[in-house]
Amino acid sequence: MDKNGTLLSVQNLYLYYKTRKGLVQAVDDVNMELKRGETLAVVGESGCGKSSLARAIIRLLPRNVGKYSGKIILDNVDTMKLNEEEFRKQVRWKRISMVFQGAQNSLNPVLKVGYQIAEVLMLHLNMSKSRALEEAKKYLRFVGIHEAFVDRYPFELSGGMKQRVMIAMSLITNPDIIILDEPTSALDVITQANIMNLLKKLKKERNFSYIFITHDMALASELADKVAIMYAGEIVEIAPSEVFYSEPMHPYAKGLIGSVPTLRSEKELKSIPGSPPSLFNPPKGCRFHPRCPHADDRCSEKNPPTIELKDGHLVKCWLYVR
Protein backbone atom coordinates (compact mmCIF):
# COMPACT_ATOMS: atom_id res chain seq x y z
CA MET A 1 0.00 0.00 0.00
CA ASP A 2 1.31 3.49 -0.72
CA LYS A 3 1.14 6.41 1.71
CA ASN A 4 -2.38 7.37 0.56
CA GLY A 5 -3.64 3.86 1.33
CA THR A 6 -3.90 2.98 -2.37
CA LEU A 7 -3.83 -0.77 -2.84
CA LEU A 8 -4.45 -0.92 -6.59
CA SER A 9 -3.74 1.73 -9.17
CA VAL A 10 -4.74 1.14 -12.79
CA GLN A 11 -3.10 3.55 -15.19
CA ASN A 12 -3.67 4.03 -18.92
CA LEU A 13 -5.02 0.51 -19.29
CA TYR A 14 -5.95 -0.69 -22.78
CA LEU A 15 -7.49 -3.97 -23.89
CA TYR A 16 -8.45 -4.32 -27.55
CA TYR A 17 -9.61 -7.50 -29.28
CA LYS A 18 -8.64 -8.50 -32.79
CA THR A 19 -11.50 -9.59 -35.01
CA ARG A 20 -12.03 -10.01 -38.73
CA LYS A 21 -13.95 -6.74 -38.77
CA GLY A 22 -11.15 -4.85 -36.99
CA LEU A 23 -10.14 -3.99 -33.43
CA VAL A 24 -12.72 -3.88 -30.64
CA GLN A 25 -11.68 -1.10 -28.27
CA ALA A 26 -13.13 -2.68 -25.14
CA VAL A 27 -10.94 -0.94 -22.53
CA ASP A 28 -9.55 2.38 -23.68
CA ASP A 29 -7.16 4.33 -21.47
CA VAL A 30 -8.80 3.44 -18.16
CA ASN A 31 -7.47 4.92 -14.91
CA MET A 32 -8.73 4.08 -11.43
CA GLU A 33 -7.60 3.53 -7.85
CA LEU A 34 -8.74 1.29 -5.05
CA LYS A 35 -7.91 1.58 -1.36
CA ARG A 36 -7.79 -1.28 1.12
CA GLY A 37 -11.28 -2.10 2.38
CA GLU A 38 -12.87 0.05 -0.31
CA THR A 39 -15.57 -1.03 -2.77
CA LEU A 40 -15.47 0.45 -6.24
CA ALA A 41 -18.61 -0.14 -8.29
CA VAL A 42 -18.09 -0.14 -12.05
CA VAL A 43 -21.41 0.68 -13.69
CA GLY A 44 -22.41 0.88 -17.34
CA GLU A 45 -24.65 -0.52 -20.05
CA SER A 46 -24.18 -3.95 -21.61
CA GLY A 47 -21.13 -4.15 -23.88
CA CYS A 48 -19.36 -1.07 -22.47
CA GLY A 49 -16.31 -3.13 -21.42
CA LYS A 50 -16.90 -3.92 -17.74
CA SER A 51 -15.98 -7.62 -17.95
CA SER A 52 -13.06 -6.78 -20.23
CA LEU A 53 -11.74 -4.37 -17.59
CA ALA A 54 -12.03 -7.11 -14.96
CA ARG A 55 -10.27 -9.64 -17.17
CA ALA A 56 -7.52 -7.15 -17.93
CA ILE A 57 -6.89 -6.64 -14.20
CA ILE A 58 -6.76 -10.35 -13.37
CA ARG A 59 -5.07 -11.07 -16.71
CA LEU A 60 -7.41 -13.77 -17.95
CA LEU A 61 -7.57 -12.82 -21.59
CA PRO A 62 -8.97 -14.46 -24.69
CA ARG A 63 -6.64 -15.49 -27.53
CA ASN A 64 -7.59 -12.65 -29.81
CA VAL A 65 -5.98 -9.83 -27.82
CA GLY A 66 -4.97 -6.98 -30.13
CA LYS A 67 -3.59 -4.56 -27.55
CA TYR A 68 -2.99 -5.00 -23.85
CA SER A 69 -0.98 -2.27 -22.17
CA GLY A 70 -0.81 0.12 -19.24
CA LYS A 71 0.13 -0.18 -15.59
CA ILE A 72 -1.66 -2.24 -12.95
CA ILE A 73 0.13 -1.37 -9.74
CA LEU A 74 -0.64 -3.59 -6.78
CA ASP A 75 1.12 -2.57 -3.56
CA ASN A 76 3.75 -0.63 -5.50
CA VAL A 77 4.49 -3.50 -7.91
CA ASP A 78 3.51 -3.10 -11.56
CA THR A 79 1.91 -6.48 -12.24
CA MET A 80 2.06 -5.80 -15.99
CA LYS A 81 5.81 -6.28 -15.74
CA LEU A 82 5.43 -9.81 -14.32
CA ASN A 83 5.56 -12.69 -16.76
CA GLU A 84 2.64 -15.15 -16.86
CA GLU A 85 4.20 -17.60 -14.40
CA GLU A 86 5.07 -14.85 -11.90
CA PHE A 87 1.60 -13.38 -12.24
CA ARG A 88 -0.03 -16.79 -11.67
CA LYS A 89 2.17 -17.56 -8.66
CA GLN A 90 2.08 -14.14 -7.02
CA VAL A 91 -1.11 -12.37 -8.02
CA ARG A 92 -4.01 -14.29 -9.56
CA TRP A 93 -6.23 -15.82 -6.83
CA LYS A 94 -3.66 -15.08 -4.09
CA ARG A 95 -3.91 -11.29 -4.24
CA ILE A 96 -6.76 -10.72 -6.71
CA SER A 97 -9.61 -13.15 -7.20
CA MET A 98 -12.78 -12.98 -9.24
CA VAL A 99 -16.33 -14.24 -9.37
CA PHE A 100 -17.08 -14.43 -13.07
CA GLN A 101 -20.26 -13.27 -14.73
CA GLY A 102 -22.70 -16.22 -14.81
CA ALA A 103 -20.21 -18.19 -12.72
CA GLN A 104 -22.80 -20.24 -10.86
CA ASN A 105 -23.27 -22.23 -14.05
CA SER A 106 -19.59 -23.07 -14.28
CA LEU A 107 -19.42 -25.53 -11.39
CA ASN A 108 -18.41 -28.97 -12.58
CA PRO A 109 -21.60 -31.11 -12.41
CA VAL A 110 -19.77 -34.36 -11.63
CA LEU A 111 -17.62 -33.11 -8.74
CA LYS A 112 -18.77 -32.53 -5.18
CA VAL A 113 -19.07 -28.91 -4.18
CA GLY A 114 -16.62 -29.23 -1.27
CA TYR A 115 -13.96 -30.70 -3.52
CA GLN A 116 -14.36 -27.89 -6.03
CA ILE A 117 -13.80 -25.31 -3.30
CA ALA A 118 -10.89 -27.29 -1.82
CA GLU A 119 -9.30 -27.61 -5.26
CA VAL A 120 -8.63 -23.86 -5.31
CA LEU A 121 -6.41 -24.26 -2.24
CA MET A 122 -4.78 -27.45 -3.51
CA LEU A 123 -3.92 -25.78 -6.83
CA HIS A 124 -2.93 -22.32 -5.72
CA LEU A 125 -1.59 -22.81 -2.19
CA ASN A 126 -0.38 -26.42 -2.50
CA MET A 127 -2.54 -27.43 0.44
CA SER A 128 -3.17 -31.10 1.21
CA LYS A 129 -6.61 -32.45 0.23
CA SER A 130 -7.73 -33.17 3.80
CA ARG A 131 -6.78 -29.71 5.05
CA ALA A 132 -8.29 -28.05 2.01
CA LEU A 133 -11.58 -29.91 2.57
CA GLU A 134 -11.67 -28.69 6.20
CA GLU A 135 -11.13 -25.14 4.93
CA ALA A 136 -13.90 -25.66 2.36
CA LYS A 137 -16.32 -26.52 5.19
CA LYS A 138 -15.26 -23.43 7.07
CA TYR A 139 -15.82 -21.23 4.04
CA LEU A 140 -19.18 -22.83 3.26
CA ARG A 141 -20.30 -21.84 6.76
CA PHE A 142 -18.78 -18.44 6.22
CA VAL A 143 -21.02 -17.81 3.20
CA GLY A 144 -24.09 -19.13 5.00
CA ILE A 145 -24.25 -22.74 3.76
CA HIS A 146 -24.31 -25.73 6.11
CA GLU A 147 -21.01 -27.63 6.01
CA ALA A 148 -22.86 -30.86 5.15
CA PHE A 149 -23.12 -29.43 1.62
CA VAL A 150 -19.43 -30.17 1.14
CA ASP A 151 -20.57 -33.63 -0.04
CA ARG A 152 -23.33 -32.44 -2.35
CA TYR A 153 -23.26 -32.07 -6.12
CA PRO A 154 -24.02 -28.75 -7.86
CA PHE A 155 -27.45 -29.95 -9.07
CA GLU A 156 -28.51 -30.26 -5.41
CA LEU A 157 -27.97 -26.52 -4.85
CA SER A 158 -30.20 -23.57 -5.71
CA GLY A 159 -28.90 -20.74 -7.92
CA GLY A 160 -28.29 -18.56 -4.87
CA MET A 161 -26.37 -21.34 -3.10
CA LYS A 162 -24.21 -21.92 -6.18
CA GLN A 163 -23.39 -18.24 -6.26
CA ARG A 164 -22.45 -18.42 -2.56
CA VAL A 165 -20.14 -21.32 -3.43
CA MET A 166 -18.49 -19.18 -6.11
CA ILE A 167 -18.06 -16.39 -3.56
CA ALA A 168 -16.53 -18.90 -1.09
CA MET A 169 -14.07 -19.94 -3.82
CA SER A 170 -13.07 -16.34 -4.44
CA LEU A 171 -12.48 -15.73 -0.71
CA ILE A 172 -10.71 -18.90 0.28
CA THR A 173 -7.20 -17.84 -0.75
CA ASN A 174 -7.66 -14.69 1.36
CA PRO A 175 -7.00 -12.23 -1.48
CA ASP A 176 -6.77 -8.46 -1.02
CA ILE A 177 -9.10 -7.69 -3.90
CA ILE A 178 -12.17 -9.55 -5.11
CA ILE A 179 -13.67 -8.69 -8.47
CA LEU A 180 -17.38 -9.48 -8.56
CA ASP A 181 -18.71 -9.42 -12.13
CA GLU A 182 -22.52 -9.07 -12.02
CA PRO A 183 -22.64 -11.46 -9.04
CA THR A 184 -26.41 -11.29 -8.62
CA SER A 185 -27.77 -10.60 -12.09
CA ALA A 186 -29.03 -14.12 -12.78
CA LEU A 187 -30.84 -14.36 -9.44
CA ASP A 188 -34.37 -13.52 -8.29
CA VAL A 189 -34.75 -10.36 -6.19
CA ILE A 190 -34.93 -12.08 -2.79
CA THR A 191 -31.83 -14.18 -3.48
CA GLN A 192 -30.15 -11.09 -4.87
CA ALA A 193 -30.85 -9.21 -1.62
CA ASN A 194 -29.46 -12.13 0.41
CA ILE A 195 -26.25 -12.21 -1.62
CA MET A 196 -25.87 -8.43 -1.28
CA ASN A 197 -26.25 -8.77 2.49
CA LEU A 198 -23.60 -11.49 2.51
CA LEU A 199 -21.20 -9.26 0.55
CA LYS A 200 -21.81 -6.37 2.97
CA LYS A 201 -21.20 -8.64 5.97
CA LEU A 202 -17.96 -10.02 4.48
CA LYS A 203 -16.77 -6.53 3.67
CA LYS A 204 -17.33 -5.40 7.25
CA GLU A 205 -15.79 -8.47 8.87
CA ARG A 206 -12.78 -8.97 6.62
CA ASN A 207 -11.95 -5.57 5.15
CA PHE A 208 -11.80 -6.94 1.59
CA SER A 209 -11.56 -4.53 -1.31
CA TYR A 210 -14.17 -5.22 -3.95
CA ILE A 211 -14.48 -4.21 -7.55
CA PHE A 212 -18.21 -4.66 -7.97
CA ILE A 213 -19.35 -4.75 -11.59
CA THR A 214 -22.98 -4.14 -12.39
CA HIS A 215 -25.32 -2.53 -14.93
CA ASP A 216 -27.66 -1.71 -12.03
CA MET A 217 -27.13 1.75 -10.58
CA ALA A 218 -29.41 1.11 -7.58
CA LEU A 219 -27.59 -2.10 -6.67
CA ALA A 220 -24.24 -0.35 -6.91
CA SER A 221 -25.38 2.21 -4.33
CA GLU A 222 -25.87 -0.54 -1.73
CA LEU A 223 -22.24 -1.55 -1.59
CA ALA A 224 -20.07 1.09 -3.23
CA ASP A 225 -17.78 3.54 -1.49
CA LYS A 226 -16.83 4.88 -4.89
CA VAL A 227 -18.57 4.68 -8.27
CA ALA A 228 -16.96 4.53 -11.73
CA ILE A 229 -19.21 5.04 -14.75
CA MET A 230 -18.07 3.27 -17.87
CA TYR A 231 -19.21 4.18 -21.38
CA ALA A 232 -17.97 2.64 -24.62
CA GLY A 233 -14.68 1.37 -23.16
CA GLU A 234 -13.87 4.52 -21.17
CA ILE A 235 -14.46 5.64 -17.60
CA VAL A 236 -16.37 8.90 -17.89
CA GLU A 237 -16.87 9.70 -14.20
CA ILE A 238 -15.51 8.50 -10.85
CA ALA A 239 -16.62 9.84 -7.50
CA PRO A 240 -17.16 8.86 -3.88
CA SER A 241 -20.68 7.36 -3.66
CA GLU A 242 -22.23 10.07 -1.53
CA VAL A 243 -20.97 12.75 -3.92
CA PHE A 244 -21.93 10.81 -7.03
CA TYR A 245 -25.48 9.92 -6.03
CA SER A 246 -26.28 13.44 -4.87
CA GLU A 247 -24.61 15.20 -7.78
CA PRO A 248 -23.61 13.18 -10.84
CA MET A 249 -21.85 15.45 -13.33
CA HIS A 250 -21.37 13.59 -16.60
CA PRO A 251 -24.41 13.80 -18.91
CA TYR A 252 -24.37 10.00 -19.35
CA ALA A 253 -24.20 9.43 -15.58
CA LYS A 254 -27.07 11.88 -15.09
CA GLY A 255 -29.04 9.93 -17.68
CA LEU A 256 -28.35 6.64 -15.91
CA ILE A 257 -29.43 8.05 -12.54
CA GLY A 258 -32.55 9.58 -14.13
CA SER A 259 -33.58 6.15 -15.40
CA VAL A 260 -33.59 4.51 -11.93
CA PRO A 261 -37.04 4.28 -10.30
CA THR A 262 -37.28 5.36 -6.65
CA LEU A 263 -40.05 4.61 -4.17
CA ARG A 264 -40.56 8.13 -2.96
CA SER A 265 -40.12 10.16 -6.09
CA GLU A 266 -43.02 11.12 -8.36
CA LYS A 267 -40.58 12.19 -11.05
CA GLU A 268 -41.09 10.78 -14.50
CA LEU A 269 -38.40 8.25 -15.43
CA LYS A 270 -36.23 9.23 -18.34
CA SER A 271 -34.34 6.86 -20.58
CA ILE A 272 -31.22 7.83 -22.52
CA PRO A 273 -32.12 8.12 -26.21
CA GLY A 274 -30.12 6.08 -28.72
CA SER A 275 -27.92 3.09 -27.99
CA PRO A 276 -24.25 2.60 -27.07
CA PRO A 277 -21.86 2.79 -30.03
CA SER A 278 -20.02 -0.08 -31.63
CA LEU A 279 -16.55 -0.47 -30.15
CA PHE A 280 -15.11 -1.29 -33.60
CA ASN A 281 -15.33 2.27 -34.67
CA PRO A 282 -16.49 4.43 -31.78
CA PRO A 283 -17.57 8.02 -32.52
CA LYS A 284 -14.80 10.56 -32.90
CA GLY A 285 -14.41 13.07 -30.07
CA CYS A 286 -16.51 12.28 -27.01
CA ARG A 287 -17.93 8.81 -27.53
CA PHE A 288 -21.21 9.88 -25.96
CA HIS A 289 -21.76 12.85 -28.28
CA PRO A 290 -24.35 11.26 -30.62
CA ARG A 291 -26.61 10.74 -27.56
CA CYS A 292 -25.72 13.78 -25.51
CA PRO A 293 -28.19 16.67 -25.11
CA HIS A 294 -25.29 19.09 -24.45
CA ALA A 295 -23.03 18.13 -27.35
CA ASP A 296 -21.42 20.90 -29.38
CA ASP A 297 -18.81 21.00 -32.16
CA ARG A 298 -15.91 20.48 -29.78
CA CYS A 299 -17.52 17.27 -28.49
CA SER A 300 -17.66 15.68 -31.93
CA GLU A 301 -14.07 16.70 -32.72
CA LYS A 302 -11.89 16.04 -29.68
CA ASN A 303 -11.97 13.45 -26.92
CA PRO A 304 -12.44 15.39 -23.66
CA PRO A 305 -9.76 15.22 -20.96
CA THR A 306 -10.54 13.88 -17.49
CA ILE A 307 -10.89 16.76 -15.03
CA GLU A 308 -10.76 16.56 -11.23
CA LEU A 309 -13.67 18.67 -9.97
CA LYS A 310 -13.16 18.08 -6.27
CA ASP A 311 -11.11 15.62 -4.25
CA GLY A 312 -11.56 12.27 -5.93
CA HIS A 313 -14.39 13.43 -8.23
CA LEU A 314 -13.26 13.02 -11.81
CA VAL A 315 -15.26 13.63 -14.93
CA LYS A 316 -14.45 13.31 -18.61
CA CYS A 317 -16.54 15.96 -20.33
CA TRP A 318 -15.94 19.25 -22.15
CA LEU A 319 -18.64 20.99 -20.08
CA TYR A 320 -16.21 21.18 -17.16
CA VAL A 321 -13.11 22.26 -19.02
CA ARG A 322 -12.45 25.99 -18.56
Ligand X SMILES: Nc1ncnc2c1ncn2[C@@H]1O[C@H](COP(=O)(O)OP(=O)(O)OP(=O)(O)O)[C@@H](O)[C@H]1O
Site string for ligand X, 189-228 (x = CB under 6 A): --------------------------x-------------
Among 30, 41, 48, 198, binds ligand X (CB under 6 A): 48
Binding-site partner at residue 317 among Mg ion, ligand X, ligand SF4, none, CB < 5 to 8 Å by type: ligand SF4
Least Å from the CB of residue 235 to ligand X:
12
Judged by CB, which is closer to ligand SF4: 133, or 286?
286
Q: Kindly state whether residue 62 participates in binding ligand X, applying the rule CB under 6 A.
A: yes
Report the greatest alpha carbon distance in the chain: 66
Binding-site partner at residue 224 among ligand X, ligand SF4, Mg ion, none, CB < 5 to 8 Å by type: none
Judged by CB, which is closer to ligand SF4: 100, or 318?
318
CA distance 241 to 225: 5
CA distance 211 to 42: 7
Q: Kindly state whether residue 236 participates in binding ligand X, applying the rule CB under 6 A.
A: no
Task: List the Cα angle 316/64/238 in 5-degree steps.
Answer: 20
Torsion of CA 24, 30, 35, 40, to 10 degrees: -60
Return the range that interacts with ligand X (CB under 6 A); candidates 39-47, 121-129, 159-167, 243-251.
Answer: 39-47
CA distance 208 to 185: 21
CA distance 133 to 125: 13
Binding-site partner at residue 165 among ligand SF4, ligand X, Mg ion, none, CB < 5 to 8 Å by type: none
Helix, coil or strand: residue 213? strand
Which residue intervals of the chain are DSSP H helices?
50-58, 84-90, 113-124, 129-142, 159-171, 189-206, 217-223, 241-246, 251-258, 297-301
Least Å from the CB of residue 293 to ligand SF4:
8
Binding-site ranges for ligand SF4 (CB under 6 A): 250-251, 286, 288-289, 292, 294-295, 299, 304, 317-319
In this structure, are residues 207 and 35 in contact, taking their beta carbons and an 8 Å threshold? no
Q: Kindly state whether residue 26 participates in binding ligand X, applying the rule CB under 6 A.
A: yes
Judged by CB, which is closer to ligand SF4: 102, or 258?
258
Site string for ligand X, 260-289 (x = CB under 6 A): -------------------x----------
What residues contact residue 242 under an 8 Å CB cut-off, 6+ apart?
none
Q: Kindly state whether residue 192 participates in binding Mg ion, applying the rule CB under 5 A.
A: no
Judged by CB, which is closer to ligand X: 48, or 140?
48
Neighbouring C-alpha atoms within 13 Å toward the C-beta of 265: 10
Q: Kindly state whether residue 101 participates in binding ligand X, applying the rule CB under 6 A.
A: yes
Helices 113-124 and 159-171: crossing angle in degrees, nearest 10, is: 20
Q: Kindly state whether residue 50 participates in binding ligand X, applying the rule CB under 6 A.
A: yes
Residues 36-75 that bind Mg ion (CB under 5 A): 50-51
Residues found near Mg ion in the complex (CB under 5 A): 50-51, 101
